[in-house]
Amino acid sequence: MAGKTVAITGCTSGTGLVLAHICGGLGAKVMMLNRTSKRAEKALEQLQNKGVEAQWIPCDLLSFGSVRWAAEQLKTFCPQGLDVLCNNAGLMGIPDKASIDGFDKQMQANHLSHFLLTSLIWPLFEIAVSKRGEARIVNHSSGARKGRPLEARFLGRNGGNLGGDGFPGMGKWRRYQQSKLANLMFTYTLPDQIAQQRPKFAGKIKSLCAHPGPTNSGLQGKTAKAGGTRLLDQYILWTALKRAQSVEDGTMGIARACCEAVVESNNFYGPAVFRQAGPAELLPAERDVASETLLWRESLKATGLSNFFESLQAFVQ
């Protein structure tokens, strides 16, 4: 990874922090997109103390305004382009409340803000291709993605009105499922959009995904702190942790997607057995054209983008 620049969201702890250390240890410059906190400062210090060239950019994924500001900072700090963006940050099993922009917090943090960020910094991927031949967008899904197909209401400005937190749809867990399915559908539909609208970069800007399998990443503790105290919540968290592998092992999927020498768009990595820990294998595709089409349309609408590649208008083609 020497000579490359990698941006990672949500890397104060868990898989994101492990990935930052992996990429930095392999020679990459690491851009850390995290909310302002002592943990963000500590994570940056850890990398710098190891001799890694690292930069922290404050970014709150629950605010589109913050994402737009962070995107401008990335453009300033990465004049030679961005080789890898890992959309890693995520929220899990939190109460049915709206973000400042009016969306479900899980959907905005896990997918919509990543969709917006990827669009806003698109010129950086094209610069990387022109200079080094390739760029990658890596999304982080979950075993929880399985279940219902994607529904438009979860991508709309319906925060706080998406079923509450209890039965019959297990509220918060259904919203989490939808957000993690959105991560995978975004991965699959992006290469098609590149081929249609930026054909020069088809196969060169690659879209990949991974899921960690049951992993003790610390996310479960955050869920409990955010209100996951009901018996059902405790059971779900307990069963997940009972099967969990280490956070280092859970990082294998995104590490392969970001760092492996030869990859292709739509590669999807993770443990092969549902709800079981294991090595990150190349998994069969799980494409759903209807969900992919819905995802693209509703994500553009939610983020206020007229065209996903509109940020290119400010650059000389």
- For residue 60, give the CATH number of its domain: 3.40.50.720
Q: Is residue 309 part of a domain?
A: no
Q: Assess if residue 11 is contained within a domain.
A: yes
Over the stretch 21-67, which tens digit does the pLDDT of each residue have?
A: 999 999 999 999 999 999 999 999 999 999 999 999 999 999 999 99
How many domains are there within the chain? Answer: 1
* Strand 281-282 versus strand 268-270 pairing type: antiparallel
The sign one gets for the Cα dihedral 7, 185, 160, 168 is negative
Residue 88 located in a structural domain: yes
160 is a domain residue: yes
The answer to the question of residue 59 being in a domain is: yes
**Over residues 132-145, mean pLDDT:** 97
Residue 314 lies in a domain: no
- pLDDT grade, residue 93 (50/70/90)? confident
Instruction: Name the token pair of 264.
Output: 């292709």
C-alpha 240: how far from its chain's center?
A: 21
Provide the sign of the torsion angle of the four alpha carbons 59, 60, 62, 66, taken in this order. negative
**CA pseudo-torsion sign 208, 209, 212, 217:** positive
Residue 310 lies in a domain: no
Within a domain: residue 178? Answer: yes
| CA 228/CA 284 separation, integer angstroms | 33
Find the range with the poorest average confidence among 11-20, 153-162, 236-245.
236-245
- Please write the tens of the pLDDT for every residue from 190-218: 999 999 999 999 999 999 999 999 987 66
**Do the Cβ atoms of 295 and 186 come closer than 8 Å?**
yes
Domain ranges, residue 148:
5-301
